[in-house]
Amino acid sequence: MKKNINYLTPSILSLIIFFSNFLGTEIFNLNAHNFSIWFVLSVFAFACGWLINKTLGYVHGGKIVFAVVIGTIFISLIMISLMKNYFGTDKLLSENLVLYTLRNVIVGAMGFFGMAVSEVILLGEKLNSELERNRNQENIIKNANKEAELIVKEAEIKASEIVLDANKEAIQVFKDKAIVEQQLSDLVATEKELLNKYIKTVTKPE
């Protein structure tokens, strides 16, 4: 159902191009009435091109619009050739066929113009989105770098504290060792002195 809705817009564009054949032939006349009619037709064709680009995409939609313009021109030329009296082309058929073809091309070109403007806006939005995403990524990278620097600094501080504590403990161990060695030395000296006194006492003649 959605696909049918998407292809409804090219059908409307083909009708706009086709029914432009029934308007006044003085397309280049600067009459206000003629200008307003062709302006409204151009606006509708522009809007159709805009919607086609939104629903079918620029490449696929462009192919469809091109096919619509060519098909409508072909049908219009057949109709004008068969209804020469109605369109007033019985005298200068070839020249009028060229003029009607140009009319259809101009209206179809407005559809292409609507597609182009829509695509430019979409690309601009995508570009802004990409730029915003890049800015967010740059901010994330900057924040990550700052956090990494903080972590490194904290690690350096902790490492310095660990080294300092280890040095303090080593110094304290050496001090304790020196104290123990001194105590042992004093103890040995005391024991020697006591042993000498005992030997002297034992060996003293009665």
pLDDT recorded at residue 106: 86
**Which residue type sits at 201?**
T
d(CA 131, CA 137): 10
d(CA 116, CA 63): 13
pLDDT recorded at residue 34: 62
Instruction: Record the tokens describing residue 8, joined without a space.
Output: 């409804």
Gyration radius of the chain over CA positions: 49
- The one-character DSSP state at 22 is G
pLDDT recorded at residue 205: 55
* Average pLDDT along the chain, 206 residues, taken 10 residues at a time: 68 84 58 69 89 86 88 85 68 71 86 90 89 86 87 87 84 82 79 72 62
| Distant-in-sequence, close-in-space partners of 10: CB < 8 Å, separation ≥ 6 | 48, 52, 56, 61, 64, 65, 68
- The one-character DSSP state at 21 is G
Q: Where are the alpha helices (DSSP H) in 1-92?
A: 2-6, 8-19, 32-56, 58-82, 84-87
| Distant-in-sequence, close-in-space partners of 42: CB < 8 Å, separation ≥ 6 | 107, 110
pLDDT recorded at residue 97: 77
pLDDT recorded at residue 28: 45
